[in-house]
């Protein structure tokens, strides 16, 4: 640009275009008639104009850079920086088609080859910077020892759950080995070791290149096998990924299956790829065309083998794995694999030290009627596509309990005790179908009660059940479903004693489309569901106090003139704008919430300034004492803007606000 200044030499400046402006200070030099120059401090010209945004500088480190498959590599982009702003996002493409977001992520390469991993960082002006590292994966190291049993990634259910780390599991170990060392020295024994235990003899008389034996292992992970030869030489197979811990069966519908919305760009949210830690876990997948189930490693869903293998029957689409993007019917927005289970259970392993396994027996849109135990004979074909959800559940537990197909007589109606204690618990997350169909309280109670009664006979393990989230289009059906779950939590008589308190989720928003009621990552709802599931499972199974992370419960109420007080059993989180999630009615007329002084037909709510367990409701209408005043919490449709009484709960690195328990038109 030109800056004309009287009596001064003219210069032209051309700053590069950009999104912002810069200030260019020009020093004016006055020249005398004799050609001499002197510095002249005035005037100084300040020129406003566009400035250049410098792109961010990406720096990607990786460790290790090479190794045999499967190779787990840690990537760190935290050294990246922006010279004139801030970095807003980090994304790592691993070179094999997988992508994860976050400053620090991990990835496992399962196939030999050379991969170019690329970090892309984006600054606050939208500019990008990239950095690459080369990862070399060599072929997997092949041990001379080959195990046929147990299968890799299998988790065995411990036999004693009376304390966190109590119990054992007994299982068969078998395989093959080179019969001699150097062609002349025979094998004399085969040993085994589990976790941090000592070596012990597995097979004292191996022969013909084969060995077998039965072992009893304590809670832990990692099986080592050693062959000893007559010349003192040994061959070892180390860290065969086998666990002894707790195995969970997931039942329900699409949210239990793993349906969910991922981040807007179709990737996986940072929290979903960086937070999972703790001990190894495993996933028992759905059956293949031969009726065979396979164990896999329970990892983040970027790496995990979550593709279904059966597509010939609707109920097989999700049984056994996490939902794929292609299988998520959610329209009009991002969709990708997302599940609470790897992360909720990952948190548990951090806190408890108990490895976990999981198998998913759920399906999108599956009502409770599909879960019922068959009347009369069961299917005798384990590979049949006509198995009911109950039959599939039992068959999956048989696999976990090492009972081969066909050993258990499925032609009988009752199977008491066959599988008692074969798994740690059932995780049940269902009810959106009945909510959207506006099923009655009595109908849904009958369905759940019958299912719980049958499972108490056949499995005899706890059933940890969730209340469904904020369900659009339910028109009151969601209240019926939540109340059934709440009442079964509170009534612990008979078989209902196994129905344990799960997460309260009514204040967590789901997608707005009633046809696809799924949690979303971008608004934090998936993350919140994950945290509350971790808290609920821990309380139900591992905590000395099963109510340790329970939400606030109403224990008393009173009214005085234009004021009603609600007293809860614990101190509440303060909400400066009041608890607009409390539905207040006078003689059936809903009162409108306002943050300040209420007018007739309005109420304001706030935590008592001294007694932090108490909520004060002020009415704009003068109460005479003859009116019927009732309050509800957790009924109907909520949104993230609704504020309810809650309490802060913590489990390890998990902190969340757990909402008050359901109240349905409670008179006060």
Nearest to 445 by CA among 400, 490, 505, 395: 490
Lowest mean pLDDT among 83-87, 382-386, 444-448: 382-386
Which of 284-293, 574-583, 633-642 has the weakest average pLDDT?
Answer: 284-293
Contact between 128 and 119 under an 8 Å Cβ cutoff? The reply is no
Q: 457: which 2 tokens? A: 């006979």
Show the CA angle centred on residue 323, arms to residues 337 and 368, nearest 5°. 130
Which pLDDT does position 189 carry in this prediction?
97
Among the listed residues 85, 82, 77, 88, the one whose alpha carbon sits nearest the alpha carbon of residue 56: 82
CA angle 397, 403, 409 (to 5 degrees): 90
- Between β-strands 66-68 and 589-590, what pairing exists: parallel, antiparallel or unpaired? unpaired
User: Is the bond preceding 150 in cis, omega lying within 30 degrees of 0?
Assistant: yes
Q: What are the structure tokens assigned to 202, written together?
A: 């597995």
What per-residue confidence (pLDDT) applies to 101?
Answer: 82
The span from the CA of 118 to the CA of 227, in Å, is: 43
Whole-number percent of the chain with pLDDT over 70: 73
* CA distances to 88, 178, 229, 231, 232 from 183, in Å: 62, 9, 11, 11, 14
3-state DSSP call for residue 426? strand
d(CA 503, CA 529): 8
List the structure tokens of 87: 């970095």
Coil/strand/helix, residue 202: strand
> pLDDT (tens digit, 9 = 90+) per residue, 147-190?
988 988 888 999 999 998 899 999 999 999 999 988 889 999 99
pLDDT at 279: 60
Q: Which residue has the tokens 């609707």?
A: 314
**Partners of 249 in the beta sheet?**
359, 426
The pLDDT of residue 538 is above 90: yes
Can you read off the two tokens belonging to residue 131?
């950095």
Per-residue confidence (pLDDT) for residue 364, from 0 to 100: 72
Cβ atoms of residues 432 and 253 within 8 Å: yes
Contact indicator for 429, 475 with CB cutoff of 8 Å: no
CA–CA dist 178, 174 (Å, integer): 14
Q: Say whether pLDDT at 554 is over 90.
A: yes
Q: Could you give the CA distance from residue 512 to residue 397 in angstroms, rounded to a whole number?
A: 36
What angle (nearest 5°) sits at the alpha carbon of residue 592, between those of residues 586 and 595?
Answer: 125
CA distance 497 to 358: 23
Span of 80-94, 229-243, 390-404 with lowest mean pLDDT: 390-404
Quick one: which of 117, 118, 119, 114 has its CA closest to 66?
114
Helix (H) or strand (E) holding 539: helix 525-541
324 touches 306 (CB < 8 A): yes
Are 540 and 492 in contact by the 8 Å Cβ rule? The answer is no
Q: Which of 50-59, 260-269, 360-369, 615-624 has the lowest mean pLDDT?
A: 260-269
- Considering the chain, what is the average pLDDT of its residues? 78
User: In the 8-state DSSP scheme, what is residue 315?
Assistant: G
Tokens of 582: 């409390």
Quick one: pLDDT at residue 555? 96
What's residue 145's pLDDT?
Answer: 92
Q: How many residues does the chain have?
A: 668
Residue 627 burial (C-beta neighbours within 10 Å; 0-12, 13-18, 19+): middle
Could you tell me the two tokens for 55? 């792109």
What is the model's pLDDT at position 615?
Answer: 96
Q: Is the pLDDT of residue 530 over 60?
A: yes
User: What is the pLDDT, as a whole number, of residue 637?
Assistant: 67
Per-residue confidence band for 280, with pLDDT thresholds at 50, 70 and 90: low
Q: Pairing relation of β-strands 602-607 and 592-593?
A: parallel
Query: Which band of pLDDT confidence, cut at 50, 70 and 90, is reported for residue 449?
Result: very high
* 31-87 pLDDT tens trace: 433 344 444 344 444 444 456 889 999 999 999 999 888 788 999 999 999 999 999
| Alpha-carbon distance values, 382 to 291, 296, 405 (Å) | 6, 20, 7
Closest alpha carbon to 159 in 420, 403, 396: 420
- Tokens standing for residue 85: 């702003």
Report how far Cα 305 is from the mean position of its chain's Cα atoms.
16
pLDDT the model gives residue 283: 66
């Amino acid at each position: 640009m030109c800056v004309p200044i009287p009596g001064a030499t003219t210069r032209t400046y051309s700053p590069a275009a950009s999104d912002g402006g810069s200030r260019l200070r020009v020093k004016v030099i006055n020249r005398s008639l004799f050609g001499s120059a002197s510095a002249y401090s005035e005037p100084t010209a300040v020129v406003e104009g566009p400035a250049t945004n410098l792109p961010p500088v990406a720096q990607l480190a990786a460790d290790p850079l090479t190794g045999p498959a499967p190779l787990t590599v840690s990537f760190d982009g935290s050294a990246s920086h922006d010279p004139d702003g801030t970095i807003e996002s980090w994304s790592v493409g691993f070179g094999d088609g997988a992508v994860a977001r976050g400053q620090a992520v991990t990835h496992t390469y399962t196939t030999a080859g050379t991969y170019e991993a690329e970090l892309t960082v984006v600054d606050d002006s939208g500019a990008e910077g990239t950095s690459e590292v080369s990862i070399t994966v060599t072929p997997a190291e092949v041990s001379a020892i080959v195990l046929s049993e147990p299968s890799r990634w299998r988790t065995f259910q411990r036999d004693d759950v009376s304390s966190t780390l109590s119990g054992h599991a007994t299982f068969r170990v078998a395989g093959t080995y080179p019969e001699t060392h150097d062609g002349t020295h025979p094998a004399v024994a085969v040993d085994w070791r589990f976790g941090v235990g000592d070596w012990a003899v597995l097979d004292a008389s191996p022969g013909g290149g084969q060995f077998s034996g039965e072992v009893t292992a304590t809670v832990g992970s990692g099986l080592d096998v050693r062959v000893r030869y007559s010349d003192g030489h040994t061959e070892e197979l180390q860290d065969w990924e086998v666990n002894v811990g707790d195995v969970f069966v997931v039942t329900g519908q699409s949210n239990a299956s793993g349906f969910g919305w991922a981040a807007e760009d179709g990737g996986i949210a940072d929290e979903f790829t960086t937070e999972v830690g703790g001990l190894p876990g495993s996933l028992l997948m759905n059956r293949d065309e031969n009726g065979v189930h396979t164990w896999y490693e329970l990892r983040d869903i970027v790496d995990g083998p979550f593709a279904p293998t059966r597509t010939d029957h609707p109920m097989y689409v999700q049984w056994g794995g996490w939902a794929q993007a292609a299988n998520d019917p959610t329209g009009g927005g991002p969709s990708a694999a997302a599940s609470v289970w790897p992360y909720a259970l990952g948190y548990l392993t951090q806190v408890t030290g108990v490895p976990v396994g999981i198998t998913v027996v759920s399906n999108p849109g599956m009502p409770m009627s599909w879960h019922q135990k068959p009347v009369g004979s069961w299917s005798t074909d384990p590979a049949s596509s006509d198995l009911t959800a109950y039959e599939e559940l039992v068959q999956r537990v048989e696999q976990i309990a090492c009972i081969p197909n066909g050993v258990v007589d499925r032609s009988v109606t009752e199977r008491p005790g066959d599988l008692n204690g074969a798994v740690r618990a059932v995780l049940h997350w269902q009810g959106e179908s009945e909510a959207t169909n506006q099923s009655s309280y009595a109908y849904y109670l009958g369905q759940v009660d019958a299912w719980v009664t049958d499972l108490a006979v056949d499995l005899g393990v706890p059933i940890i059940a969730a209340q469904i989230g904020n369900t659009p289009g339910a028109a009151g059906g969601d209240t019926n479903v939540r109340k059934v779950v709440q009442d079964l939590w509170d009534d612990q008589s008979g078989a209902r004693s196994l129905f344990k308190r799960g997460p309260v989720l009514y204040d967590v928003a789901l997608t707005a489309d009633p046809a696809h009621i799924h949690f979303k990552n971008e608004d934090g709802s998936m993350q919140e569901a994950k945290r509350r599931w971790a808290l609920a499972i821990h309380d139900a199974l591992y905590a000395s106090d099963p109510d340790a992370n329970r939400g606030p419960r109403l224990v008393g109420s009173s009214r005085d003139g234009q004021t009603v007080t609600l007293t809860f059993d614990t101190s509440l989180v303060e909400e400066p704008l009041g608890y607009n999630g409390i539905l207040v009615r006078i003689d059936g007329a809903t009162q409108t919430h306002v943050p300040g002084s209420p007018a007739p037909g309005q109420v304001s709510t706030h935590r008592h300034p001294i007694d932090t367990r108490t909520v004060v409701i002020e009415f704009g209408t003068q109460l005479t004492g003859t009116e019927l005043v009732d309050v509800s919490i957790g009924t109907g449709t909520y949104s993230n803007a609704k504020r309810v009484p809650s309490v802060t709960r913590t489990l390890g690195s998990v902190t969340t606000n757990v909402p008050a328990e359901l109240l349905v038109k409670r008179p006060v």
